[in-house]
Amino acid sequence: MPFTARDLRYHLEENYASLCIYLQQRAQRYLGQLAYDAFEVDQVVGHVIEQLTRLGLLGAGDKTPLTELDRLSPAQFYAFLNRSARNKAIDRLRKHRVPTNTLAELERQGEAEDENNPLDTVVESLWGNIPFPTPEETALAVASHEHLRNLLKRCIESLRAAPRQLQAVLRELEEMGAQDLLHVIEQELGVTEEPLEHASQHKDHAHKKLRHCLQQSSTNLAVMLALRLSEYEPISNGEAIIEIQVLARNNLSEKEVRMGLKHLDTEGLLSWHGEDTVRLSPAQRKRLARYYEEGE
């Protein structure tokens, strides 16, 4: 066995040569009539090497967290590299407008030679039935998913510190006909319509904040935790006491729980300063439930 994912992570110097040779062989095999064009071979080999570097595998040692690639068996890892090289080769062939029948022929040859080759209809679509196949379909899935809409709602509501920016975004929601979302936010925040000058400027500032908020892990963790916390029933005096370890379940680490709690504390929804338990008053539980719910 020439090398493994672990070897590339911890012993790159000893294994880089073998990685290059392997990828070069794969590239030549899948490049068909371009197999003897050194430039094209380099494009394929370079692409996979770049991907492995960007994913934090090549030479990263213990400095990056392990990913699914590290958990693949050696045989699966080779299959991963093989497929990556093959996909890039097909991409290069397409750029050169290799006739469709030649490309299909290449695929059929590959399928005969490689075991368990799941590529369906390369000519039609390289990506077949992959979830979220385009940014557009991803956007529609996101806009239709309850949790992700809640996240959007939270991010829009966090603009309340800048009322004009909030108003600019609410106007956009109204213009695009997102009445349900608009209605919930207006009800929760008690927003009243006022004349808005320099709307475009306020909108730009608001968009910048929304972009940041929506892609922040801490925002998402806060929304996830708000839901989990609101599910706990009070024990005594109407107060609920929840241990952090109990909150860390279903793929949520204790570190993530603490990050989410810190975010909720910053937003004033609970009072938590790094303790191992969270105490919630009835009023706080109610606010947390409202924080998560989108409303009807």
Partner 1 sequence: MDKQHFFEGTPDPRNASLAQWLQELLAQPPQPPRPERTSIVETSGALKEEYHPRFYTQLPDFAAALLANDPDVMVRYAPLLYHLLGCRACHSAYLEIYDALWAARASGDTSPFPDIGQHKLAATPSRMLVYLCQLLISQARAVLVQSRHEHTDNDELARSLLRQAMQMSAHIMQGTQRQRALRDLVEVAVLAQGASAGQQDAQAQSYSAQVVDAAGSRRGKVLRRADMLERPAEDVFLELQSGALKGRIVQRGEMLELQLDGLNASWRGHHVLVRVPLGSLLEPVRWLGGNPWAIRSQSPVDEHGSLKTPIGYTDLHLSDPEDYNLLEAMFKKLDLRPAE
Judged by beta carbon, residue 131 or residue 190, the one nearer partner 1 is 131
Cβ at position 139, least distance to partner 1 in Å: 4
Q: Total residues at the site for partner 1 (CB under 8 A)?
A: 99
62-91 residues in contact with partner 1 (CB under 8 A) are 63-65, 67-69, 71-84, 87
Q: Which stretch binds partner 1 (CB under 8 A): 128-136, 262-270, 274-282, 286-294?
A: 128-136
Judged by beta carbon, residue 13 or residue 276, the one nearer partner 1 is 13
- Please pick, from the candidates 36, 101, 112, 144, the single residue that binds partner 1 as defined by CB under 8 A: 144
Q: Which stretch binds partner 1 (CB under 8 A): 171-179, 188-196, 258-266, 279-287?
A: 171-179
Judged by beta carbon, residue 50 or residue 275, the one nearer partner 1 is 50
Cβ at position 216, least distance to partner 1 in Å: 6
Q: Are 94 and 30 in contact (CB under 8 A)?
A: no
How far apart are the C-alpha atoms of 224 and 271, rounded to whole Å?
17
236-265 residues in contact with partner 1 (CB under 8 A) are 250-252
Residues 6+ apart with CB under 8 A from 274: 258
Q: Which residues of 106-123 are buried (b: 16+ CB within 10 A; e: fewer)?
A: bbeebeeeeeebebeebe
- Residue 136 binds to partner 1 (criterion: CB under 8 A): yes
Rg of the chain on CA atoms, in Å? 26
Judged by beta carbon, residue 46 or residue 281, the one nearer partner 1 is 46
- Please pick, from the candidates 103, 148, 189, 199, the single residue that binds partner 1 as defined by CB under 8 A: 148
283: exposed, middle or buried (Cβ count in 10 Å: 0-12, 13-18, 19+): exposed
- Residue 132 binds to partner 1 (criterion: CB under 8 A): yes
24-63 residues in contact with partner 1 (CB under 8 A) are 25, 39, 42-43, 45-46, 49-51, 53-56, 58-61, 63
- Residue 115 binds to partner 1 (criterion: CB under 8 A): yes
Cβ at position 32, least distance to partner 1 in Å: 18
Cβ at position 285, least distance to partner 1 in Å: 21
Check residue 295 and give left, alpha or beta (phi > 0: left; psi -120 to 50: alpha). left
Cβ at position 80, least distance to partner 1 in Å: 4
Q: Which stretch binds partner 1 (CB under 8 A): 170-178, 235-243, 260-268, 279-287?
A: 170-178
Structure tokens at 20: 């290059």
Judged by beta carbon, residue 10 or residue 281, the one nearer partner 1 is 10
